[in-house]
Amino acid sequence: MQRESIYKRYEPSNNPNKINDSPAYWFVFKLNELMVDANNNTINIPYTNNLEELNISPIRTQYLGTLDGNPCYSAEVNSGTDAPEGMVFKDLRSLYNDLDEDIYLLAGRAVQIVNWDSNHQFCGKCGTPTETKEDEMAKVCPACGFTSHTRLSPAVITAIIKDGKLLMAKHSHTPGNMYGLIAGFVEAGETLEETVLRETLEEVGLRVKNIKYFGSQSWPFPNSLMIAFTADYESGQIRVDGDEITHARWFNTDELPETPSRVSIAGELIDWYKNKYGN
């Protein structure tokens, strides 16, 4: 499952083209919620030359590039801001089925940039107000030169197979009877394969082999980059920590429990398993 750009119509850029005076797409966030226009039957984001027309005064804005040749901006508004008539602020996860795919993906990019911009107003080293670099997505300190790129937290997720069965685990933080795959954040100094080995051993007490790259996905809740793998069981007995993982077992394709949706790469891994091992 490797794909080229996830975007169909979006061209990334950090530098606005000053002569492009087309109306812009605006990704306006208040406390991580996106402002959407629900005036018609379809849900969309504001498309305008000027946010002032909507009575919106952002704290900060960021240029994202173009969609169909139209400029795109992200913006952060303060928590007291009311949405204009007919518009609402909505959680990004709830909008997956409602927004155009490029717009939805771009919103995930936008919210991460908004948060990064907001959280890197001052140099982490000397406290001087930072400046945004023009040639790359970075903040630089004019006093000491310290540079901060967009913050990402890489995490691995693995579909582990034994005799045609898939290992699924119930995480203490997931509601209901949802089972997921083994996942965890990459630690400093690790390769991705080492993270897969460590997390599998820590969470379920198993050793795995034949670790193969499957695909990756930006997961903006809040700033993860998910890197997905498939692997085969090597040795050990399932032994959960009882804390992060409350239960784990091997499932056949025809007895899978409630699983994550296809929105997430976990869902794609489970689909891969069903297609490969199902009848």
8 Å CB contact between 171 and 245: yes
Distance CA 184, CA 153 (A): 10
Nearest distance, CB of residue 143 and Zn ion, angstroms: 5
**Minimum CB distance to Zn ion, residue 68 (Å):** 39
Sole residue written with tokens 């909507």: 54
The contacts of residue 97 (CB under 8 Å, 6+ apart) are none
Shortest spacing between CB 141 and Zn ion, in angstroms: 3
Q: Which of 34, 64, 141, 160 binds Zn ion (CB under 5 A)?
A: 141
Question: To the nearest whole angstrom, how small is the minimum distance from the Cβ of residue 128 to Zn ion?
Answer: 5
Which residues lie closer than 8 Å to 257 by C-beta, 6 or more apart? 168, 177, 178, 179, 251
Closer CB to Zn ion, 125 or 276, in the complex: 125
Question: Considering only residues 144, 213, 236, 278, which one is a binding residue for Zn ion as defined by CB under 5 A?
Answer: 144
- Give the DSSP per-residue string, 173-200: TS-TTB-B-EEEEPPTT--HHHHHHHHH
Size of residue set near Zn ion by CB under 5 A: 8
Buried b (16+ CB within 10 A) or exposed e, 17-38: eeeeeeebbbbbbbeebbbbbe
Helix (H) or strand (E) holding 229: strand 224-235
Contact status: 126 vs Zn ion (CB under 5 A): yes
Binding flag, residue 123, Zn ion (CB under 5 A):
yes
Q: Is 146 in the site for Zn ion (CB under 5 A)?
A: yes
The one-letter code for the residue type at 246 is T
Query: Which residue, 146 or 277, is less far from Zn ion as judged by CB?
Result: 146
Rule CB under 5 A: say whether 131 interacts with Zn ion. no
| Cβ closest to Zn ion, residue 143 vs residue 178 | 143
Q: Which stretch binds Zn ion (CB under 5 A): 75-83, 139-147, 206-214, 233-241?
A: 139-147
- Enter the tokens of residue 205: 């007490």
242 is written with which tokens? 């009882």
| 125 part of the interface to Zn ion, by CB under 5 A | yes
From 18-26, 95-103, 138-146, 164-172, span contacting Zn ion (CB under 5 A): 138-146
Stretch that binds Zn ion, among 146-154, 183-191, 193-201, 268-276 (CB under 5 A): 146-154
Binding residues for Zn ion, per CB under 5 A?
123, 125-126, 128, 141, 143-144, 146
